[in-house]
Amino acid sequence: MRRRILGGTGISVSEFALGAMMFGSWGNTDAEEGVRTIRLALDAGINLVDTADIYGAGGSERIVGRAIRGRRDGVVLATKFHSPMGPDANQQGNSRRWIVRALEGSLRRLGTDHVDLYQVHRIDPDTDIDETLSALSDLVRAGKVRAIGTSNFPADQLVEAQWAAERRGHVRFRSEQPQYSVLARAVETHVLPTAQRHGVGVLPWGPLGAGWLTGREIRPGVGRAVLEQRKFDLSVPENAAKAHAVTELRKVAADAGLSLTHLALAFVNAHPAVTSVLLGPRTPGQLADLLGAAGVDLDDEVLDRIDAIVPPGVDLNRADHHWVPRVLTDASLRRRPLPRGRGTA
């Protein structure tokens, strides 16, 4: 499997990485099968394994820890923090107080004394980025973390973090993990160019569009959480547009002699900003299919046909995004307060 350097760190990572979100209570609850799947990925040449404390309330990290036991030196191990890990308001977020505790928990579950890439899972508008970078820099200098990165950060926040690191003398973010697929291309507009400009490696998640690009029939209500229905309800115009795009993409894949899955993975891998594409299998069989995309390159004719179906920079359904800025969800941040003593006309 081909290798690339992660964000100028000198760390060599495989062109495909193993995302471990589906191991544990969020996906495959058979821990032994999860361990087997991870080891098969390592045997196939994948060396970057990515997880997060929130996946299965720590269950994914425990399975990863078991799987890499005895092979730790050959694994570039990545995990993430931010999401709630308990009922206390301080058991979440991007504060120094929580970052230090969160890492201790992850190291314990993973059975290691350090992680190679520690990532901020989401933006925390209540915590100054200087506070977050200061804490992460101390962990790097203590040897508990080798490099730091972000996930789901918009371009302006990536730039602000780079500026803060330079001005304050902090370790800087070396990677970003955005959602990116043929059906969700908005990151091509600002996030990916910004990452390239600042030498930040990109580790895209969701390259198969949450199942739309696997080649299987999309049937709302089957195996989907209620909160996810908006992403698969074909009566929604944006989802109908996705269904039409998938039909056209199948034709492109067939003409190229590829499965839809391999076309989708190769498309994401073709962007020059991308360092390693996250695969998210639940079983060894799914992993075997995904690994078939290793080394597949798409020529300009195929990429042009894809662009004609889903234009560059376009998300067919913005509801697919997991993070929405607070300025869009909190009306008070968009409305100037009325002067005291004055009401509406």
Tell me the pLDDT tens digit for each residue of 18-58: 999 999 999 999 999 999 999 999 999 999 999 999 999 99
**Domain ranges across the chain:** 3-321
Helix intervals (H) in 15-154: 31-43, 59-67, 96-110, 129-141
Check residue 216 and give left, alpha or beta (phi > 0: left; psi -120 to 50: alpha).
beta
User: Which pTM value belongs to this model?
Assistant: 0.92
pLDDT in tens, 62-76: 999 999 999 999 999
H or E segment and range at residue 81: strand 76-81
Closest C-alpha among 49, 83, 44, 87 to residue 65: 49
Q: What angle do CA 11, 13, 19 make, to 5 degrees?
A: 125
**Which of these is catalytic: 55, 118, 212, 232?**
55
Q: Give me the torsion for CA of 106, 112, 118, 121, rounded to 10°.
A: -30
Paired with 119 in beta bridges are: 80, 149
H or E segment and range at residue 6: none
User: Across the chain, what does the average pLDDT equal?
Assistant: 93
Q: Which residues contact 148 (CB under 8 A, 6 or more apart)?
A: 117, 118, 119, 120, 133, 136, 140, 171, 172, 173, 174
55 as an active site residue: the answer is: yes
pLDDT in tens, 250-280: 999 999 999 999 999 999 999 999 999 999 9
Pick the CATH number of 3-321 from 3.40.30.10, 1.25.40.10, 3.20.20.100, 3.20.20.80: 3.20.20.100
